[in-house]
Amino acid sequence: MKLFTISILTAVTAFTLTTAAQKGKGKGGLRKQSGTQGNYRVTVVEIPENVNSGFVRLKPKVLLYRPIETSKKKLPLIVTLHGSGGGRRDIEQKKWQGAINQLLKTENPEFEAVVVEPQSDGEWDPQSLQRMLDHILSENPVIDTSRLYCMGYSMGGKGTWEWAMNYPDRFAAIIPKGFIPDLSKINNMVDLPIWAMVGDKDSKPRVEGIPAMEKALKELGSNKVKISVFEGANHATAAGRSREEAGVWEWLFSWAKE
């Protein structure tokens, strides 16, 4: 009788644990991440077909983070672009990573913003990003369109640079990191605030290209460009160093388009 009772209890416990685990999973058995952290809520936004039909490599779902409570009538927006391989993961598994982690730190409570994280199956396409962002702005009137920012590392840094290079009036400021700058349309970017970052042990085209970009912009009259070069950092370790750089949020949020 005791053995029968133990067997029943074991079966009930196993069923309860399995059910609880399944409740935390979405399609395909992937565990869903929490919808809120601190004062932020995240939602998966599906870009409608009439907008996404022209996308090149850009996926039709984005993560959108927004403060739950705020005293501000308008909020700046940050678009953060992932690096190579970031488009292969299920979007549910990408929640609460990247720039949002920095905003959630206790020392950054005053830096409230809407954060958008799209996904791409390959290199970022500026025109697709334009269409995506236009849709996000149309659906979120709380966003201050004079304070749009973009940042990214590696492929995300390249995407940030090329988006701003092709649409120089889109952003109030950008932070491209760990990328090789294309200088073919640099004349368009003279008035854009830019903070670029790279490790001094990264590849030669990046290590030499980013200072060359700064020099070229200053020769054209820019006084809004700056760079950080991380001593002893290669392409992998410079990513972490860039997240620890002091004064990034103060600098970024200080810029607004006239």
Instruction: Give me the residue spans of the domains in the chain.
Output: 34-253
Given a contact cutoff of 8 angstroms between Cβ atoms, the answer to whether 174 and 160 are in contact is yes
The pLDDT value recorded for residue 32 is: 52
pLDDT tens across 138-187, in order?
999 999 999 999 999 999 999 999 999 999 999 999 999 999 999 999 99
pLDDT tens across 94-133, in order?
899 878 888 888 666 788 999 999 999 999 999 999 999 9
For the cut 80, the answer to whether the pLDDT of residue 30 exceeds it is no
Sorting pLDDT into bands at 50, 70 and 90, what band is 8?
very low
- Count of C-beta atoms within a 10 Å radius of residue 236: 12
pTM: 0.86
Q: Strands 40-46 and 61-67: what pairing?
A: antiparallel
CA angle 175, 245, 89 (to 5 degrees): 60
CATH classification of 34-253 is 3.40.50.1820, yes or no? yes
Nearest to 216 by CA among 251, 185, 172: 185
- Calpha distance 250→39 (Å, rounded): 19
Which segment of 24-28, 228-232, 237-241 scores lowest on mean pLDDT? 24-28
Nearest to 158 by CA among 108, 186, 124, 185: 124
Sorting pLDDT into bands at 50, 70 and 90, what band is 88?
confident
pLDDT tens across 213-224, in order?
999 999 999 999
